[in-house]
Amino acid sequence: MKTLLLFFIIFQAHAASHKWSYKGPTEKGINPQKWQSFLKYAESKDSGHSTNALFIYLDGHVIKHSTYNGFKKNQPHRQWSISKSFTSALVGIAIQKNIITLETPVSKFYSLDKNTKYVPNLKDLLGMSSGLDWNEGYEGSPLKSNVIAMLYTQGFKDMATYTANRPSKYIPGEHFYYSSGETNLIMGMLKKSLGIHDYASFPWTALFDPLEIKTATWEKDKSGTFVGSSYLYMSPEDLAKFGLLYLNKGKFQGKKILDKKWVEFSYTLAPPFYKMKFKNKEKVETYGAQWWLNLDLPNENNTRPYPGLPTDAYLALGHHGQLLAIVPSKKLIIVRNGADTDKKLDKVKFFKLLMEALP
């Protein structure tokens, strides 16, 4: 009887573990010449960028899982700002558990600059529209950059507090400005809502363990807040599992992890895009709730950043060429990790060549 029970437990554990199904590109009806053109661009170093991994999933099967430059398949890779979309997922789960709401004001947990006229809430932060003054420059403008100051100098001990103390510049919800500080403020609010003990294990209990993500490291600042903006590491395959969760509208292995409504909210155009006036409307990168979108601007045509990708695509993008793209209409997940320290990957070209090859 004991043996039977043990067998049953082992069988259950085995049945529950996720396994990818693989098929060759030709079996999936992919154009071989166009597929080679895509790979030539994506894999080659001749173009100046440096691809470390590619993982592509199409309608039930992995069609590409390769690593380059000595990088191993199960090696954790830095994901930079892809971390932001994981932060969004954690917020979604916390909302499901009634721990926090979209309307929770920042001021419930953090003192704002004394001259601040407006109080942003969690929804404003998710849509990068807190109105707090910020400079997201990296190597190009290191002296003025708030993100560099936050990560390495004035802010590294407590990044949420550093961000909350920035002066307000716009009415919350009315002006989009991509700010890593806002994501870390979200993470700080999550920490204070959950309490430091539950918070420390929350990414694992709520997300990584149910997704069978085994390679994750999420670095914290000195105050114990996860650096939600930038410091998540995992293997490309584990990142694809997160993509599969969203492709399946919040379910993984048939089990609900995220509300379908949260997934839909994640790729809904953030409110400021209906209010802002754009001088140059070409290739405006639209945004949802810590996810980049490929939507045209409201009442405009062909302003989307990646003309080769369908408009329902949504993306998590990170420094040095990290990308996770989900294309529901094609049942497609694209993962690319890289170290583009010299020349950036041309994402427009990358997506165009890939989509031309697919059936």
Partner 1 sequence: MKYITLLLLFSLTGCKFPKVVSAFYAKEVCSCLFVEKQTETYCHEYGKQIIPIWTKEIDLKNRKVKAWGLWESTEASFISSRSGCQIVK
Among 63, 89, 90, 149, binds partner 1 (CB under 8 A): 149
Determine contact, residues 23/29, Cβ cutoff 8 Å. no
The reply on whether position 219 binds partner 1 by CB under 8 A is: yes
Among 231, 265, 350, 351, binds partner 1 (CB under 8 A): 231
Taking CB under 8 A as the criterion, which residues in 128-147 touch partner 1? 139, 142-143
Nearer to partner 1, 76 or 310 (CB): 76
Q: What single-letter amino acid sits at 244?
A: L
Among 38, 57, 162, 233, binds partner 1 (CB under 8 A): 233
- Tell me the C-alpha to C-alpha distance, in Å, between residue 58 and each of 22, 53, 236: 10, 17, 16
Taking CB under 8 A as the criterion, which residues in 68-127 touch partner 1? 70, 75-78
Among 221, 286, 289, 292, binds partner 1 (CB under 8 A): 221
Nearer to partner 1, 182 or 221 (CB): 221
Sole window of 39-47, 107-115, 152-160, 174-182 interacting with partner 1 (rule: CB under 8 A) = 152-160
Among 2, 19, 114, 222, binds partner 1 (CB under 8 A): 222
The reply on whether position 209 binds partner 1 by CB under 8 A is: no
Nearer to partner 1, 176 or 233 (CB): 233
Tell me how far, at minimum, the Cβ of 153 lies from partner 1, in Å: 4
Total residues at interface with partner 1 (CB under 8 A): 27
3-state secondary structure the chain: CHHHHHHHHHHHHHHHCCCCCECCCHHHCCCHHHHHHHHHHHHCCCCCCCEEEEEEEECCEEEEEEECCCCCCCCCEECHHHHHHHHHHHHHHHHHCCCCCCCCEHHHCCCCCCCCCCCCEHHHHHCCCCCECCCCCCCCCCCCCHHHHHHHCCCCCCHHHHHHCCCECCCCCCCCCCCHHHHHHHHHHHHHHHCHHHHHHHHHHHHHCCCCCCCCEECECCCCCECCCCCEEECHHHHHHHHHHHHCCCEECCEECCCHHHHHHHCCCCHHHHCCCCCCCCCCCEECCCCEECCCCCCCCCCCCCCCCCCCCEEEEEHHHEEEEEEHHHCEEEEEEECCCCCCCCHHHHHHHHHHHCC
Sole window of 97-105, 106-114, 150-158, 241-249 interacting with partner 1 (rule: CB under 8 A) = 150-158
Nearer to partner 1, 41 or 233 (CB): 233
Nearer to partner 1, 70 or 359 (CB): 70
Among 93, 106, 148, 327, binds partner 1 (CB under 8 A): 148
Among 204, 274, 281, 343, binds partner 1 (CB under 8 A): 204
The reply on whether position 216 binds partner 1 by CB under 8 A is: yes
Q: Which residues bind to partner 1, rule: CB under 8 A?
A: 70, 75-78, 139, 142-143, 148-149, 151-154, 156, 204, 216-222, 231, 233, 339, 341
